[in-house]
Amino acid sequence: MRLQTARPAEHEGPQEFADRCRALAQKVMCKDSDPVAQRIHRENAERMLLASFVVDLSGEVGRQVKFQNSQDLRQALTRALAVTEALKHEKFAETFYTKFDVI
The pLDDT value recorded for residue 10 is 80
pLDDT > 80? residue 1: no
The pLDDT value recorded for residue 38 is 84
Please, are residues 65 and 54 in contact by the beta-carbon 8 Å criterion?
yes
- C-alpha 75/C-alpha 10 separation (Å) is 23
- The domain locations on the chain are 14-98
Contacts from 74-79 at CB under 8 Å and sequence distance 24+?
76/18, 76/50, 77/14, 77/15, 77/18, 77/53
pTM over 0.75: no
The pLDDT value recorded for residue 93 is 65
Average pLDDT in the 73-77 region?
94
pLDDT > 90? residue 5: no
- For the stretch 27-47, pLDDT in tens is 777 777 888 888 888 888 898
